[in-house]
Amino acid sequence: MVTIKDVAKATGVSPSTVSRVIADNPRISLDTKKKVRKAMKTLGYHPNINARNLAVKSTKSIGVIMPSSANKALQNPFFPEILRGIGSVIHDVQYSMSLSTGETEEEIFEEVQRMVYGSYVDGVILLYSRVNDRVTSFLRERDFPFVVVGKPYDDINEVTHVDNDNYKAGQEITKHLIELGHKKIAFIGGSKDLFVTMDREAGYEAVLNEAGLENCEDYKVHTEFLKSGGREAVERLLFLDTPPTGMVVSDDLMSLGVLSTLEELGYSVPKDISLVSFNNVYLSEITRPALTTVDVQIHTLGAQSAKALIEKTQNKSEPAKRIIIPHKIVYRDSVSRRGTL
C-alpha cells in the first residue's frame, strides 16, 4: 500500500505537506501541489479511509436500515428504488452507505448498535417506522443523527423525516373515483400500525364523509402483506350485500394481488370494479390493466432523506425538519366511469 509518506519521499516534501495537498489547503504553493499530485498519480496513491476516519472522527458513511424481513414486504420494488435515491446523493458527496441486514427486530437493533457504537457510520436512515421502536429510542437517547422515511411515531416534531402527504394523496385518489361516479368505495390497506396505511385511509375517509358517501367499517380491510393475493380480504368485500365498485389499495404490489383475485372471481377491472393505488413502481405500468396510482416519487424520497441526513451529520444543531415530497396521480387504465346509479 502506498502511503502519504511514500508520496512525501518521492516528492521531497514532508508528509504533512502531502496531507495538506489532499485537503487542498490554500496555503500550499501551486508548484508543490502540482508536484505532489503528480507523484500521487504515478505512485498510485489513494488515501486510506480508516486512517483518515480515525484521525478526523467521521466516517463519511451512512447506515440504511430496512424493515425486518420476516415477511415478503421486502420484495417490494419500493426498496431498490429508494436505495437508488439515497445512492444518487450519497455518490455525489462521496459518501458510502452501509446496509442493515437483520431479519428480526432484535438483529436489526444489534446492528444499529454496532453501527453507532463502533463508529461505522455518521448517521442513519430508517426505512420504516413502528410504534415503540427500540431503534428510534436508542438513536434519540444517544443523540445520534438519523432521519426516517415516512412518519415517525413518537415526538414527530423532534425527528426529521421525509414523507409524502399521504392524507392528501388518499383524498385526491379517492376523489378521483368519486368524480367518476363511484359511490361504493372500499379501502384495502396493509398493517394498521403503519402510518402510511393510516394516513391514506384517513384521507379516503375524509373524502367519503365530505361527499356524503357511505363510510362503513365493512368497506375497510387490513391484511398483512398479501399472501396469495389477499384472497380472503377481497372476498370479504365482494360478498357484502352491496359490494364496492371502487377500491383504494394502499400499495401497488398489493394491487397486483387484488387484481388477480378480482379477476379470478369473475370481476373485471375496470369494467366491474375500479381500482386505484399508491407508489407507482415499475410494475404498475405493466399490470393488466395498468394501474392508476399515485406517484409518490420514491426516488426523491430516498434522495431527500439522504440529503437531510448528511446535513444533519455535518451540523448537529440542524433543527428537526419535516420534508414533504409532492405526489401526483398517474392516470392509467384501472378505473372507469360509473353510470350514475
Partner DNA sequence: CTGTTAGCGCCTTCAG
Partner DNA sequence: CTGAAGGCGCTAACAG
Report yes or no: 76 and 253 within 8 Å, Cβ to Cβ: yes
**Cα atoms found within 13 Å of the Cα of residue 229, Cβ hemisphere only:** 13
What is residue 279's DSSP assignment?
E
Q: Which is nearer to its own copies, 177 or 253 (CB)?
A: 253
Q: How far apart are CA 265 and CA 335, in angstroms?
A: 18
Among DNA, its own copies, none, what binds residue 265 when CB lies within 5 to 8 Å by partner kind?
A: none
Q: How far apart are CA 24 and CA 270, in angstroms?
A: 62
Q: Residue 302 CB, nearest distance to its own copies (Å)?
A: 10
Which residues does residue 220 pair with via DSSP β-bridges, in sequence order? 187
Among DNA, its own copies, none, what binds residue 191 when CB lies within 5 to 8 Å by partner kind?
A: none
265 backbone dihedrals φ, ψ, rounded to 5°: -80, 5
| Size of the residue set binding its own copies (CB under 8 A) | 64
Cα dihedral 306/308/311/315 (nearest 10): -130
Single out the residue of 22, 97, 213, 330 in contact with its own copies (rule: CB under 8 A). 97
Q: Which is nearer to its own copies, 235 or 285 (CB)?
A: 285
Single out the residue of 11, 17, 19, 100 in contact with its own copies (rule: CB under 8 A). 100
How distant is the alpha carbon of residue 34 from its chain centre? 44
Question: Could you say whether residue 61 binds its own copies (CB under 8 A)?
Answer: yes
Among its own copies, DNA, none, what binds residue 100 when CB lies within 5 to 8 Å by partner kind?
A: its own copies
Among DNA, its own copies, none, what binds residue 38 when CB lies within 5 to 8 Å by partner kind?
A: none
Among its own copies, DNA, none, what binds residue 91 when CB lies within 5 to 8 Å by partner kind?
A: its own copies
Cα dihedral 282/283/287/291 (nearest 10): -60
Among its own copies, DNA, none, what binds residue 20 when CB lies within 5 to 8 Å by partner kind?
A: DNA
Q: Which is nearer to DNA, 42 or 48 (CB)?
A: 48
Q: What character string, x for contact with its own copies (CB under 8 A) and - otherwise, covers 209-248?
A: -----------------x-xx-------------------
The side-by-side arrangement of strands in the sheet containing 274-279 is: 220-222, 185-189, 246-249, 274-279, 292-295, 328-330
Q: Which is nearer to its own copies, 192 or 227 (CB)?
A: 227
Where along the sequence are the contacts to DNA (CB under 7 A)? 1, 3-5, 12-17, 19-20, 22-23, 25-29, 31-32, 45-48, 51-52, 54-57
Tell me the residue length of the chain: 341
Single out the residue of 18, 90, 125, 147 in contact with its own copies (rule: CB under 8 A). 90
Q: How far apart are CA 74 and CA 127, in angstroms?
A: 11
- Strands 322-325 and 161-164 come out as parallel
What are the cell numbers at 16?
Answer: 504533512
What are the cell numbers at 23?
Answer: 485537503
Q: Which is nearer to its own copies, 207 or 262 (CB)?
A: 262
Question: Could you say whether residue 102 binds its own copies (CB under 8 A)?
Answer: yes
Q: Which of residues 110-169 bind its own copies (CB under 8 A)?
A: 111, 113-115, 117-120
Place of cell 365493512: 218
What is the end-to-end Cα distance of the chain in Å, rounded? 78
Residues lying near its own copies in the complex (CB under 8 A) = 1, 46-51, 53-54, 59, 61, 64, 69, 72, 74-77, 79-81, 83-84, 86-88, 90-91, 94, 96-103, 107, 111, 113-115, 117-120, 226, 228-229, 253, 256-257, 259-260, 263-264, 281-283, 285-288, 290
